[in-house]
Amino acid sequence: MDSFPHISCKLSKLKTMPKLIFVLLLLGLAQAQNLGFRLVASDLERPTFLTYAPDGSDRLFVTEQTGKVRVIQGGRLRPEAFLDLSNRIACCGERGLLSLAFHPDFKNNGFFFVNYTRSPDGATVIARYKVAAEGNRADPASARVLLVIEQPFANHNGGQLAFGPDGYLYIGMGDGGSGGDPLNHGQNLNSLLGKILRIDVNKEENGRPYAIPPGNPFVGRQGARPEIWSYGWRNPWRFSFDRETGDMWIADVGQNQWEEVNLEPRGRGGLNYGWRLMEGSACYNPSSNCNSGNLVLPVLEYDHSQGCSITGGYRYRGRAMASLRGGYIYGDYCSGRIWVATEQGGRWAARRSFETGYSISSFGEDAEGELYVLDHRGAVYRLELR
């Protein structure tokens, strides 16, 4: 079953939304608390991602799948768009404006980066823009395309952008779509599809508007693209870096049965996460004897009785929800469930589960490490304990 990021976007926005929704803890703990969702913004058009600008302004930025970047400032959604790419976007289904990332030195250089599928062919575009002098608008004429990746099908576009603790830009790419990775992009090191890429946006090299970090694992390897950081991904829908450890958390949307979360220790590039050989920790193609020992298995997974399209989140490092600190918080688009996973005895397990009723398209993090959840039907909520 397909849902966002395996869905058709034929969803109507909610006409009314509650100011505050409390949901009860399902997996009993001795001192369980309720999770609250405080409405931050509504009337958004299919929100896909939320992040903050590293400039001390406390602004939140939300991408709308149809092409606009919106600003939440002082607890209110600004009426005008920060950037409008609607005339460049191929939308919807799994296509559209999928994320943005601010340069670590945004306060001084004004640069930020977007990931979208372009009109008319649906190719993935990674482009850089610069903020205008006014500050609450970007300069649309500042566009510089860094990378274009052709897409053979309309689904599995990945879409995540994030700067790692090393200052490089990481790019999540799905396997190109259809079902079952028919072109085997996930295991093909000569393809940028089914990969997480890492590039240096502060340099130019060999005619490219970016450089290859010298530590990338496949630099100099014949038949492999030097941009590749890791491979074996089906559709990595949201990854994040732990702001304390630098570890990378990656959620990969499953095919028929399993949704998975992977944990990559800081700086460990070159790993193979299994697709299409494996779906989660189960063999997929081939149906048996698929792992010779070189594949990385997920640290968390769930089957389709609990949801059908995972949305990766963050390891919580904020202060407002002390009992959740250190937990990895993630969700599912179809079921609206949110899980909190913790580590015990060297193993990760989902210890708490919450029902929301939302179509969870993304989580977001603000400058203080507090978390937000995006309902694809048109709203942003801040997570709070009650």
Instruction: Write down the pLDDT at residue 34.
Output: 86
Domain count for the chain, please give it.
1
Position 5 in a domain: no
| Residue at 96: amino acid letter | G
| Residue at 297: amino acid letter | L
Position 2 in a domain: no
Instruction: Write down the pLDDT at residue 127.
Output: 98
Q: Where are the beta strands (DSSP E) in 24-172?
A: 35-41, 47-52, 60-64, 68-73, 76-77, 83-84, 97-102, 111-117, 124-131, 138-149, 161-163, 169-172
pLDDT tens, 1-60?
A: 345 665 443 333 333 333 333 333 333 332 346 899 999 999 999 999 999 999 999 999
Position 13 in a domain: no
Position 4 in a domain: no
User: Which pair of structure tokens corresponds to residue 361?
Assistant: 């398209």
> For position 144, which CATH number holds?
2.120.10.30
Position 288 in a domain: yes
Q: Please give the residue range of the domain that contains residue 86.
A: 42-311
Position 352 in a domain: no
Q: Reduced to 3 states, what is the DSSP secondary structure of residue 91? A: coil
For residue 79, give the DSSP letter: S
Instruction: Write down the pLDDT at residue 159.
Output: 97
pTM of the model: 0.93
For residue 107, give the DSSP letter: H
- Are the CB atoms for 352 and 338 separated by under 8 Å? no
Q: How many CA atoms lie within 13 A of 64 on its CB side?
A: 25
Instruction: Write down the pLDDT at residue 23.
Output: 35
Instruction: Write down the pLDDT at residue 5.
Output: 63
Low-confidence ranges of the chain (pLDDT < 50): 1-2, 7-32
Distances 270 to 50, 298, 336, 339 between C-alpha atoms, Å:
28, 16, 33, 29
Neighbours of 140 (CB within 10 A): 14
Q: Which residues of 218-239 are buried (b: 16+ CB within 10 A; e: fewer)?
A: beeeeebbbbbbbbbbbbbbbb
User: Which pair of structure tokens corresponds to residue 77?
Assistant: 């959604």
**69 φ/ψ angles, rounded to the nearest 5 degrees:** -105, 125
- Are the CB atoms for 200 and 210 separated by under 8 Å? yes
- Are the CB atoms for 157 and 133 separated by under 8 Å? no
SS3 annotation, 124-151:
EEEEEEEECCCCCCEEEEEEEEEEEECC
Position 375 in a domain: no
Position 325 in a domain: no
